[in-house]
Amino acid sequence: MGHLGSTTHRPKTWSDGSNVLSSSAFNPFHNWTHVFVPYLSGDVYVGVDRTRNLQGLYFSGHNLLEATVSKLLNETGLGSARRVLLSGASAGGIGTMENADWLGAKLRAHHTNPSELNFRAHPQAGAFFVNSDVVMFPEFATLHSTWNFASFAASYLYLWFKQLGPPPFLDQSCMAAHADAPHQCWSAAVHYAYIETPLFVGQNKFDSNQAGAVFGHDWWPLPLLHHQSSQAAYVRYFGNRTLEGIAADVLSHGATKTPADGLFMPSCWKHTGNLCMTSSSSQVQGWRMATSLADWFDDGNAAPHQLIDNCAGDDPCNAHCQC
């Protein structure tokens, strides 16, 4: 019943003020053809329902994406495009990672000259979950358990989006490799290794949505005197889990791809608010994500393509964490 769920509640026109769809010169993709697929299905672009679920909702995000791409292939020049970038942030970042290989195969199958196509993807804050072994803040703070929440959460979300209908559309090669536990392909810590599309991963070291809203840092009513110290310790723990998880994955598995995957990881307690193309966005080692991303897409060597914040300490330490 809101702008995230229906075009009925969206304005008739919309413009991107800070990211890859902006027409402003600060965006290195400002003069490209832009297509915006709004978040209208509540399922991070993986739902394939054609009937209402138990809540009376349609989880049809992948279907909406497929219909959009089919229309573009039939009615525009997408079938002969030589440079295509799929991107999204947060829910759109998850959708980017899960649908990248599908979209690449779709475009190559319909392309007038597939060898000319340079297709890549850029998920922003889409690595849910950052590590295959992460505990929630309540368990971390009370020291009663080291129960891995990421595996449980992946299973829960898989079943939530399945309900009475077909399973969600997750990366097909990952699901084939995990036929006995396909729900694990929801987790980026499992799924990432199966993504063949070149990726430039934009991810904060301390994702405030995952650690805060999902894993409990922001809402657990810890009945201890040292609540703040426990919170601070958990932030440091989550940052280390990120470095040992998705960051290490990009640096190792991503390095085996051609081109090697890119990485931009500021030391910020933030979700998406600092991951953008503007000149005021976060810098890592003196570089902005827009510069590194554009150079990576064009196989340039004018900027580093794998950047992890090296400011001192285990706490969030980037001096500028906004766009």
Task: Specify the pLDDT at position 163.
Answer: 84
Cα distance between residue 88 and residue 74, in whole Å: 23
Task: Specify the pLDDT at position 41.
Answer: 85
Task: Specify the pLDDT at position 58.
Answer: 87
Which tokens belong to 62? 């992948």
Task: Specify the pLDDT at position 145.
Answer: 67
Q: What residue ranges do the domains of the chain occupy?
A: 84-308
Task: Specify the pLDDT at position 236.
Answer: 96
Task: Specify the pLDDT at position 225.
Answer: 56
Burial class (CB in 10 A: 0-12, 13-18, 19+), 188: buried
Task: Specify the pLDDT at position 308.
Answer: 98
Nearest Cα to Cα of residue 150 among 238, 87, 223: 238
Task: Specify the pLDDT at position 221.
Answer: 83
For 77, other C-beta atoms within 10 Å of its C-beta total 10
Cα distance between residue 107 and residue 85, in whole Å: 12
What is the pTM assigned to this prediction?
Answer: 0.95
Cα distance between residue 65 and residue 198, in whole Å: 20
Helix (H) or strand (E) holding 191: helix 188-191
Task: Specify the pLDDT at position 162.
Answer: 87
Which tokens belong to 163? 């309900």
Task: Specify the pLDDT at position 144.
Answer: 65
Enumerate the β-bridge partners of residue 206.
269
Helix (H) or strand (E) holding 207: strand 206-207
Q: 133-166 pLDDT, tens per residue?
A: 999 998 888 876 677 888 888 998 988 888 878 8
Task: Specify the pLDDT at position 317.
Answer: 97
Q: What is the DSSP code string of 94-146?
A: HHHHHHHHHHHHHHHHH-SSGGG-EEEEEEES--SSS-SS---HHHHHHTS--
Residues in the chain where the model's pLDDT stays below 50: none
Task: Specify the pLDDT at position 161.
Answer: 86
Distance in angstroms between the alpha carbons of the first and the last residue of the chain:
29
Cα distance between residue 73 and residue 87, in whole Å: 18
Nearest Cα to Cα of residue 101 among 38, 27, 210, 193: 193
Task: Specify the pLDDT at position 226.
Answer: 61
Nearest Cα to Cα of residue 28 among 270, 296, 273: 296
